[in-house]
Copies of this chain bind each other. A is one copy, B any other.
Amino acid sequence: MEKGQQRITSSDVAQASGVSRATVSYVLNNDPRQSIPEETRKRVIREAEKLGYRPFTPARILRAGHSQIVLAVLPFEQVDPGLALGLKELEARLVEHGFTLISYVGVQQLATKIHPSANVTPGVIVSYGDETDPAIASFLQQFQVPILPGMNNQGMQQLVGKTQVDYLLRHSQRQIVFAAPERQDVQFLVQARLKGVLQGCSEHGLEPAPVFVVPASRPAARTAIREFLTHQPSPYGICCYNDEVAFAVLAALIDEGISIPATAAVIGCDDIPLAQFSIPALTTMYFDRQQSLDPLVENIMAASRGEPTRQVPPASLKLIVRDSA
C-alpha cells in the first residue's frame, strides 16, 4: 500500500484527457485569459474527478511563493471558550475564500529553536498576544509574512472592566474589587482589564479598586477571600477577569456563607456554556464579534496580497443578566 500508491498529479489528468498539463491547470484554475472550449473543459474536469485529483499544496505554495494558510498565534496555556468560538467563526469565513485557519496555542516554546509550528508555512499571521512583547514580536517576524492583530486586544479588555463597574454600581453603592487569576499567560490582558476597572471607579468618584488574586484551589480560595474581605467595607461588587475566575469566587463566597448578590455581587466575562449553571447563575458579558469579523477577514485577504490593512472596529459588548449580580 505504501509502495503502490502513487500521487495523482495534473500530468495524470492531462494524459487521461488527452491535453497538456498546462491546459489542465488553466481549466482547473479557471484562468480567464485562456479560451478553452466548453467540451475540453468538461472533459478535463470529468477526468480530474474520476481520478480523484487534488493539487499538491506544497508544490502550489512553492510556485506561488506564499500560502493560503492563516496562522492564529495564541500565546496562552489554554484558549478561552469565547475565543474558541470566535476562531471557529473566523475559520468558516476564511474557508469561503479558500483559506485555511491554523491555530497555535501555547506560550512556553515561543523562544525555542525548533518551534512546534516550524513545519507550517502561513501566508498571514493573526496574533492574539501582547503586541508590545518583544519576544513574541521577534518570534512572529521570523515567518517573514504580514502580521495582523487579532480580536481580543487590550482596548477591548479595558471596555469590559469599565462596563462591569458601571453595571455593579447601577443600583447601589458597592466596594468594587477586581478578581484576577493566578495564571501568568494572560497577565497582559489582566492588566488591561484592571485599567478599565480603575477607570470605572474613578468615573464614579471611588477609590481605586483593590485587586484580589484568586488562588487555584478551592480551600485556598476560601481562606484568601475571607482574609481579603475583612479589610473591605461591604457590600462588595466583584469584577472577575473571566467566568472561570467567577466560578472560583462564587464557590469561595458560598463556602464562607456570604450571600450573593446581596452582600457580594459577582460579574464575570465570556459567557461560557457553563455560566448559566453556576450557583447562583452567573451574570456576565461577552463580545459580539460578528461585526468585527468581516473587517478582519478583509484585512487578512488584503495582507495576503501584500496590500495595506485597515483599522478593525471594536466588537460590541453584550450583557447577560442572571442572578449573581
Interface residues of A (CB under 8 A from B): 2, 5, 7, 52, 54, 56-62, 65, 67-69, 78-79, 81, 84, 88, 91-92, 94-95, 98-103, 105-106, 109, 112, 114-121, 142, 144, 217-218, 244, 247-248, 250-251, 254, 273-274, 276-279, 281, 306
With a CB–CB cut-off of 8 A, which chain B residues contact A103? 103
How far, in whole Å, are A168 and B163 apart by their CA atoms in the complex? Answer: 45
Quick one: which of A57, A115, A281 has the most chain B CB within 10 A? A57
With a CB–CB cut-off of 8 A, which chain B residues contact A94? 116
Asked whether A91 and B116 contact (CB < 8 A) given A59-B62, A142-B54, A277-B247, the answer is: yes
B114 touches A57 (CB 8 A): no
Q: What is the distance, in angstroms, from A116's C-beta to the closest C-beta of chain B? A: 5
Closest 6 pairs between A and B when the two form their complex, measured CB to CB: A100-B119, A2-B306, A58-B61, A58-B58, A251-B277, A279-B279
Asked whether A217 and B251 contact (CB < 8 A) given A54-B142, A62-B62, A121-B58, the answer is: no
Q: What is the distance, in angstroms, from A242's C-beta to the closest C-beta of chain B? A: 11
How far, in whole Å, are A120 and B119 apart by their CA atoms in the complex? Answer: 10
With a CB–CB cut-off of 8 A, which chain B residues contact A247? 274, 277-278
Q: What is the distance, in angstroms, from A297's C-beta to the closest C-beta of chain B? A: 14
Nearest residue (CB) in B for A308 is B2
Q: What is the distance, in angstroms, from A84's C-beta to the closest C-beta of chain B? A: 6
Asked whether A277 and B306 contact (CB < 8 A) given A59-B58, A78-B84, the answer is: no
With a CB–CB cut-off of 8 A, which chain B residues contact A118? 54, 57, 98, 100
With a CB–CB cut-off of 8 A, which chain B residues contact A273? 244
A121 touches B56 (CB 8 A): yes
B78 touches A98 (CB 8 A): no
B274 touches A244 (CB 8 A): yes
Selected contact of A81 from candidates B56, B78, B88, CB within 8 Å: B78
Quick one: which of A60, A103, A109, A276 has the most chain B CB within 10 A? A276
15 contacts between A and B (CB under 8 A): A2-B306, A52-B142, A57-B119, A58-B121, A78-B81, A98-B118, A98-B119, A101-B116, A102-B120, A103-B103, A244-B274, A247-B274, A250-B277, A251-B276, A251-B278
With a CB–CB cut-off of 8 A, which chain B residues contact A78? 81, 84
How far, in whole Å, are A308 and B5 apart by their CA atoms in the complex? Answer: 16
Asked whether A120 and B57 contact (CB < 8 A) given A144-B5, A276-B217, the answer is: yes
Nearest residue (CB) in B for A96 is B114
How far, in whole Å, are A81 and B274 apart by their CA atoms in the complex? Answer: 13
Asked whether A277 and B218 contact (CB < 8 A) given A78-B84, A95-B116, A144-B7, the answer is: yes
Selected contact of A57 from candidates B106, B121, B142, CB within 8 Å: B121
Nearest residue (CB) in B for A57 is B121
A254 touches B279 (CB 8 A): yes
How far, in whole Å, are A101 and B116 apart by their CA atoms in the complex? Answer: 7
Nearest residue (CB) in B for A217 is B276
Q: What is the distance, in angstroms, from A51's C-beta to the closest C-beta of chain B? A: 12
Q: What is the distance, in angstroms, from A16's C-beta to the closest C-beta of chain B? A: 18
How far, in whole Å, are A248 and B276 apart by their CA atoms in the complex? Answer: 9
Q: What is the distance, in angstroms, from A291's C-beta to the closest C-beta of chain B? A: 23
